[in-house]
Structure 1
Amino acid sequence: MVSFFFCTLSSFIFLCIHVSSAADTISANFTLSGDQTLLSSNGTFKMGFFKPGNSANFYIGMWYQELSIQTIVWVANRDKPVSDKNTSVLRISEGNLVLLDGNNLVWSTGLNSSSAHDAVLQDDGNLVLRDDSGSPLWQSFDHLGDTWLPGAKIRYDKRTKKSQRLTSWTSSEDPSPGLFSLELDESTAYKILWNGSTQYWSSGPWNSQSKIFDSVPEMRLNYIYNFSFFSNETESYFTYSLYNHANVSRFAMDVSGQIKQFTWLNNNNQWNLFWSQPRQQCQVYAYCGSFGICNDKSQPFCQCPRGFRPASQKDWDLKDYSAGCVRSTELQCSRGVINEFLPLTNVKLPDNNSEGLLGSTSCRSACLGNCSCMAYAHEETSNRCLMWSNDVLNLQQLEEDNSEGSMFYLRLSASDMPRNSPSGKSNKVMIIGAVLGSLGVVALVLLAVILILRSLRMKRMRGEKSDGTLAAFSYRELQNATKNFSEKLGGGGFGSVFKGALQDSSVIAVKRLEGISQGEKQFRTEVVTIGTIQHMNLVRLRGFCSEGNKKLLVYDYMPNGSLDSHLFITQTGEEKTVLGWKLRYQIALGTARGLAYLHDECRDCIIHCDIKPENILLDSQFGPKVADFGLAKLVGRDFSRVLTTMRGTRGYLAPEWISGVAITAKADVYSYGMMLFEIVSGRRNTEQSENGKVRFFPSVAATVLTKDEDIRSLLDPRLEGESVDTEELTRACKVACWCIQDEESHRPAMSQVVQILEGVLEVNTPPFPRSIQALVENDGSVVFFTESSSSSSHNSSQKQNHSSSSSSSKKTTNNNSSA
């Protein structure tokens, strides 16, 4: 009635405008301004004005509505901010969705059509501009920012030869397009570019047979994301969806220059980094800008060399290092002005603007004689002088033992060079005389100290434990013992392992740790705690070194190497002696005993977090030893970030790492189950067959078990003809399938696994794991095992309680459990 009154007022003729609109829609007569927002119909995404960080600018953007951390997934006016959201308006005008700042046009969808009717924020985060019939005229999914949501596509147009790009923000407070972008090229490979030109990472071409990108092998075992690649005569594109739509996930071209995949952890209310490329920050081209030095071992990653300072300290504080470093004192190139060269040792040389001269000319003189020469290096292999003019990009500090390191000489004003305090000749003579005089006084004291240190060193080099715990080695001692870390035994996410020998000729394995940030006291305390954990199926920690950032662990050397070297044929075709079934079964049982000890018999439950064949070492009698069991404790409880930086372990990760629930010892059980399958088959769980199809062994084993097929078909073909205990083989396959159940409550504890493998407990046929069977739900009852003397009619909870409290007639004593 009121509306009718205003529309028919007799004194005036008004145009009656219906201003109501759905919460997710901008209609022709609805505007968005101030604190007004749009909300998708399912409540997932919200759109409105926002201000990033401490910035004074406002942008129209889209973010997740229900997450505690505001995460922007799309920005309309990313390079044209507005200063006042109350005087700015988003509306439909002349067939376009436009953003106006007063009367000034800030942003527009840029269509020539005049048929736009409304714009709707969809449940998938896509903003769609539609005509009267509801057909899309424009959509935000075709104009991506830095974030790639499920359902969106990154395209390559075969007609125009142009790619759709995912482009990073400039900084955390500036959503304008940054220097790093991801795009699809004509070879069907995704690549990351710096400044739209220099490529520094590629996914490799799409393999249509295995349905993965060649350089992203971890896609083989993915059960969270459903990836799809399409190509026709006009375009190619890649898209993805989530198997479980309750999960929240996104890809982002980060300001770090890395493409990152995140999943939301509901329990922790934070984003979990699931995957990223390139893995090392300094692999990002020119990350530290001109004259900036990148170091993967430092925080922050970028530093300015002596004589330089950040071009913009504010940008550096926001982790935007693209402007690089500038000189503290500008160079002068005139007669009488002295310039000198600052030597930078063990660096990866910049790869831009280098000029080569024959080595017959002095590199230093040649650079001094050229006013545009900013730096030089001598290339020994070609006997050339390399000189850099203008900017020096992609300068990287390497580790001391990296053979690729070079000497780099950076031109500086003489006033910026490190120098001793000026003094006359007489002062130098006085200093030398004082030093020589003092030498006579302290000679006896130094001799006594040397003798004492030599005695302590001899004890340490013999591995003697002066405090009843571990031997504390110096870095130089371990450097000598390993011959400057020359014989590498292997490596992983926590560091590299080197072979060495102490002065008593005992052989050791030295692990040089990476990513360990504890202080000296905390590190020593935790290492000594780990050193007290002793079990015949755990590698013995003999000592450690902690000198600043140099942190190393010293273990007993295992002469038969790691389990993977005996199970799998190497890439070079090398194959060691095939392990027999009895030996494999004992290795599986011994590993289970070691894990059960860590989980149940230590003062604190220790979760290994990286169980795989590479971390099971074999002694001279092929006895299994679980290695790296203390490293998860040393790096702290933020395991998710550590694991995502590891290589080759994705196939052993339990589903809860991604779904966000708290990690328990059952994560190790899952990894153990995956490894047990590989012990049975003698092959990686995922491999490509001769016809190009990908074979996933756990699915094959689960099919054989659930359909009661021939269990021997799962055995390593190299064991054909060997007398194999079928009961042991069946028991191993069943317990492995129980271990990889999706719900961690459905998995047995490692102590129960030990009892099953020992034959104390009978194991029932497991259900088909949902993640393997295309996420098909299993409605059957969940039963791990029954007592061998019990009735099969007991329900699962009765059996579990009964098995843990009663003693079976078949139960045997495990003499290792208390070791």
Structure 2
Amino acid sequence: MRTQIILFLLNISCFSFIISTTSKSSNFLPRSSSIDVEDSSTNHLISNDKTFICGFYTLNDTTNAYYFGIWFTNSKERTLVWIANRKKPVNGHGSRLTLRKDGALVLTDLDGSLVWQTNTSSVENHKLISKASPNILNHGYYSLFFDNDNVLKMVYDGPEYSSIYWPNPDYTIWQNGRTNYNSTRVAIFDNNGTLVSSDRLRFSASDNGFGVKRRLTMDYDGNLRLYSLNNMSRLWTITWQAVIKQCGIHGLCGRNGICVYTPQPKCSCPPYHKPYSSTNWSKGCKPKFARNCNDSQFLKLPHVDYYGFDLNYTQNTSFDACRNLCLKDCQCQAFKHVVREGVWVCYTKSDLFNGYRAEDNLYLRIPSSEQELGPKIILNVSRLSCGGGENPETLMLNKTYRDTSNQSFKWVYVYSFVGAIGAIEVIIFVTSLIFLFRKHGISASFEEWYRTISSHFRSFSYNELKSATNKFRQVLGSGGFGAVYKGVLADERVIAVKKLENIVQGEEEFWAEVSTFGRINHMNLARMWGFCSEAKHRLLVYEYVENGSLDKHYVIVDDNVGDEEEMLELRSFVKFAKEKMQNGGISWVDDLMDMRLEGKFSKNQAAKMIEIGILCVEDDRNKRPTMESVAQVLAECKDETLHNMPNNI
């Protein structure tokens, strides 16, 4: 059945304005005429609404390679949306685009050879394919397409393997919120910034509404993103993206590579490996040793795993049996021995792709002669710059290992420097403690201080929180994103655990709350002590506040914990207020104020407070004002109102 992905149809719209527009010569190409590549700087075709431009262009003025395509008129940098000769650039001399008498557009090269032409009888392209890199227009390894099961997916199709990574391959179609019952295979992106597809996928731009120029792009790094054009700055802003955590995209770090967050996503190499290229991490890492099936040992990689390529899956097996299973198979490059639903399970892996930080440990197969004890595992790390020329950085993990490269002597200076710094810190720390003891003695405040630094913000495992809450039995409250449970940690701290249920919509909110409140410590805020991000589980851990109902204490931290009919009322009020404000003036204020006030209030002050309140509940956090600016505006509003306030108020 024919597959359709209706995202822009820019080729159709471009060709229609070329033929039909007659108002200006720059907007019209008569039949039997052409556009020559030599006139590329001045001879363009502009759409009726001035949104798009068709013409020849080159990526680099120093080359003689030209393309014919469509780009946005008002963006600061040329933003391409369609290319006729993506794989085959034409000569900068003698090439031309011709509109024949029969209505066909034809692109020819210097020697007159046919490079591209329109063909209305052909089937549409079934895939939306990424670029190879920011500056290379050739096809990349990522594409968006309808699969045979009628579900819209993204796939990494590289030189060594192919792998679907969106929607989450660990979940079923239904768990991902999709359906495979509809075989029409259509995705429609409308002018309001909303996409709806036949597999029940639906999303909207954060600035949803008519009148904004947008583009939905399969980017070179494998993420599907929705961009909106700011007419003032002429720059593009991301208003939606398919994959929130970039390390979930396959193929980023190549064979043997590991994607880690520091906190930005970066690529790394495991021990005894080095990158093929420091500027292109998609090529992965190569071992510094020759593989030998008859001379093998295993190196423990803490909290590392690789997706897929399982050779064997064995239940109820010991660690030694799992290890021997890998040793006997020459294809096995690593194994892991983990508990799944109370049962020990053995996985052996034939290839190591799509590495990531995980809760489990992985055991890497290396020759016996390579493993020696020493300071630490050192992973070469580089930002996912996709072509940037940064030098690899280093990331330390807590495991013994000594690098045997020729430059190992340089580490003597590094360790000496680190040791000196550590000694200075210890001296300062001990001196501070002695001063405290002499002045105050060992008091309750010291015990509280020690308790605080020893129980700092951290990541919890799901089993740890499950045990602490007695399998989530005591419910303290519930809201739009899930319920809150009471629990007690092993160190006897009483906690409130918020368990997010609607993680498909709440993933971005989860990481935003973790990054924000994990750094806050205020007497009027319930302190966040940590979080859990494990498989599909997302939980937030707060201190438990005694006395009173939970929502009285947590409303400051998260407005999602509360009554949902209240959330609906708030949304309805905001929508109603926005409609009233569009009328201009401040006469709309009367319709929004409580009638019991009998008009005894300052309209200017009320209008300003309502406007600020609406800004504070914007869906896009970037549009919300800071508390500093809110306080300043309210203070100015108050001062102005006091001078102009009627006597009866």
> So what's the TM-score if we normalise by structure 1?
0.47
**CA deviations over 1:401-441 (Å, ceiling 9, x no partner):** xxxx2111122355765643799xxxxxxxxxxxxxxxxxx
Mark the CA change 1:738 to 1:385 in structure 2 (over 3 Å): closer, same or farther.
closer
- How do residues 439-458 of structure 1 correspond to structure 2 at under 5 angstroms? none
Matched residue count: 490
Question: Does residue 247 in structure 1 map to residue 212 in structure 2?
Answer: yes
> 1:461·1:502 contact (CA, 8 Å) conserved in 2?
no
Number of the residue aligned with 1:174: 136
Structure 2 CA distance for partners of 1:295 and 1:283, relative to 1, 3 Å: same
Match for 2:577: what amino acid?
Answer: W
CA change 1:24–1:230 in 2 (3 A) is farther
How far 1:364 moved relative to its partner? 3.1
In the alignment, residue 395 of structure 1 is paired with which amino acid?
Answer: G
Q: Deviations over 1:670-708 (max 9, x none)?
A: xxxxx9xx87x457469xxxxxxxxxx83xxxxxxxxxx
Q: Do the aligned partners of 2:26 and 2:46 also contact (CA within 8 Å) in 1?
A: no
Offset at residue 477 of structure 1 (A)? 4.7
Render the CA deviation track for 1:56-105: whole Å, top value 9, x for unaligned: 654332111121122111122223345x4335433357975443443374
Question: In the alignment, what sits opposite 2:362?
Answer: 408
How far, CA to CA, are the matches of 1:544 and 1:175 in structure 2?
47
Q: Given the alignment of the two structures, is residue 267 of structure 1 paired with residue 232 of structure 2, yes or no?
A: yes
1:295 aligns with 2:256: no
Determine if the alignment matches structure 1 residue 32 to structure 2 residue 20: no
SS in structure 2 of the partner of residue 362 of structure 1: helix
Q: What is the rounded CA distance, in whole Å, between the counterparts of 1:25 and 1:456 in structure 2?
A: 88
Distance in structure 2 (CA, Å) of the matches to 1:747 and 1:199: 51
Tell me the SS of whatever aligns to 1:295: strand
Quickly say closer, same or farther: Cα 1:499–1:62, change in 2 above 3 A.
farther
Match of 1:200 among 136, 148, 166: 166
Q: Distance in 1 between matches of 2:99 and 2:261?
A: 49
> How much has 1:229 moved relative to structure 2?
6.6
Query: Residue 192 of structure 2 is aligned with which of 199, 203, 224?
Result: 224
Partner of 1:311: 276
2:356 corresponds in structure 1 to: 396
Change (3 A) 1:240 1:69: same
Partner-residue secondary structure (3-state), 2:37 = coil
Aligned match for 2:552, one of 618, 624, 627 = 618
Instruction: Name the amino acid aligned to 1:410.
Output: L
- Please say if 1:103 is aligned against 2:103: no
Shift in CA distance, 269/93, structure 1 to aligned 2, threshold 3 Å: closer
Which runs of structure 2 are paired with 1:726-737 in the superposition (5 Å)? 737=576
Partners of 2:34 and 2:252 lie apart in 1 by: 44
SS in 1 for 2:361: strand
Q: Secondary structure at the match of 1:366?
A: helix
- In 2 relative to 1, CA 293–504 (structure 1 residues): closer, same or farther, beyond 3 Å? closer
Write out per-residue CA displacement over residues 581-609 of structure 1, whole angstroms, 9 at most, x where no aligned residue. Answer: xxxxxxxxxxxxxxxxxxxxxxxxxxxxx
- The higher radius of gyration belongs to 1
Give the partner amino acid of 2:290.
L
**Could you tell me how far apart the structure 2 residues matched to 1:288 and 1:626 are?**
40
Q: 1:280 aligns with which of 241, 245, 266?
A: 245
Whole-angstrom distance in 2 between the partners of 1:505 and 1:239: 43
C-alpha change, 1:339 and 1:503, in structure 2 (3 Å) is: closer
Q: How does 1:491-640 map to 2 (within 5 A)?
A: 514=511, 531=522, 539-540=524-525, 557=545, 617-619=551-553, 625-627=555-557
Q: Aligned partners of 2:30, 2:451: CA distance in 1, in Å? A: 69
Q: How does 1:297-446 map to 2 (within 5 A)?
A: 298-316=263-281, 321=282, 323=283, 325-333=284-292, 338-356=295-313, 359=317, 362-381=321-340, 383-389=344-350, 391-398=351-358, 405-413=359-367, 417=371, 419-420=373-374
User: C-alpha separation between the residues in 2 aligned to 1:500 and 1:458?
Assistant: 24
**CA distance in structure 2 between the aligned counterparts of 1:187 and 1:386, rounded to whole angstroms:** 28
**Residue of 436, 445, 448 corresponding to 1:459:** 445
**Distance (whole Å) between structure 1 residues aligned to residue 490 and residue 289 of structure 2:** 54
Partner SS for 1:69: coil
Kindly indicate whether the alpha-carbon contact (under 8 Å) linking 1:167 and 1:177 is maintained by their aligned counterparts in 2. yes
Residue in structure 1 matching 2:98, options 91, 97, 101: 91
| Residue pair 2:130, 2:139 contacting (<8 A) in 1 also | yes
Secondary structure of the residue aligned to 2:27 is: coil
Q: Structure 1 counterpart of 2:349, which letter?
A: W
Mapped contact 2:306–2:352 kept (Cα < 8 A): no
Q: Decide whether aligned partners of structure 1 residues 743 and 33 sit closer, same or farther in structure 2, where only a CA change above 3 A counts.
A: same
8 Å CA contact 1:356, 1:387 repeated in 2 = yes
8 A contact 1:293–1:394 mirrored in 2:
yes
Amino acid at match of 1:618: K
Question: How far did residue 33 of structure 1 move?
Answer: 0.9
Q: Residue 73 of structure 1 corresponds to which residue in structure 2?
A: 81
**What letter corresponds to residue 79 of structure 2 in structure 1?**
T
Match for residue 50 of structure 2? Answer: 43
In structure 1, the partner of 2:383 is: none
Query: Matched residues in 2 for 1:260 and 1:422: separation?
Result: 41
**Separation of aligned partners in 2, 1:46 and 1:328:** 49
C-alpha separation in 1, matches of 2:219 and 2:583: 33
Instruction: Check conservation: 2:486, 2:544, Cα contact below 8 A.
Output: no
Go from structure 1 to structure 2 and tell me whether the alpha carbon gap of 1:327 and 1:543 turns closer, same or farther (over 3 Å shift): closer
Tell me how far apart the structure 1 counterparts of residues 233 and 640 of structure 2 sit (CA, whole Å).
35
Structure 2 CA distance, aligned partners of 1:295 and 1:356?
A: 26
**417 and 169 in structure 1: CA distance in 2 versus 1, 3 angstrom threshold:** farther
d(CA) in 2 for partners of 1:414, 1:94: 74
Change (3 A) 1:801 1:350: closer
Quote the Cα distance in structure 1 between the aligned partners of 2:99 and 2:458. 70
175 and 448 in structure 1: CA distance in 2 versus 1, 3 angstrom threshold: closer
1:224 alignment partner AA: N
Q: Distance in 2 between matches of 1:93 and 1:736?
A: 53
Cα separation, partners in 2 of 1:168 and 1:23, compared to 1, 3 Å: same
- The amino acid of 1:386's aligned partner reads Y
Any gaps of 5 or more consecutive residues in structure 1? 1-19, 112-136, 145-163, 399-404, 424-443, 464-470, 546-551, 563-616, 630-647, 650-674, 687-696, 699-732, 767-798, 812-819
**Deviation digits for residues 519-548 of structure 1, max 9, x if unmatched?**
xxx999x958xx5xx8xxxx4377999xxx
2:6 equivalent in structure 1: none
- CA contact 1:91–1:99 (8 Å) conserved in 2: yes
Identity %: 21
> How far 1:248 moved relative to its partner?
0.7
**Structure 2 Cα separation of the partners of residues 742 and 109 of structure 1:** 51
Are the aligned partners of 1:189 and 1:204 in contact in 2 as well (CA < 8 Å)? Answer: yes
CA distance in 1, matches of 2:549, 2:587: 29
Displacement, 1:504? Answer: 12
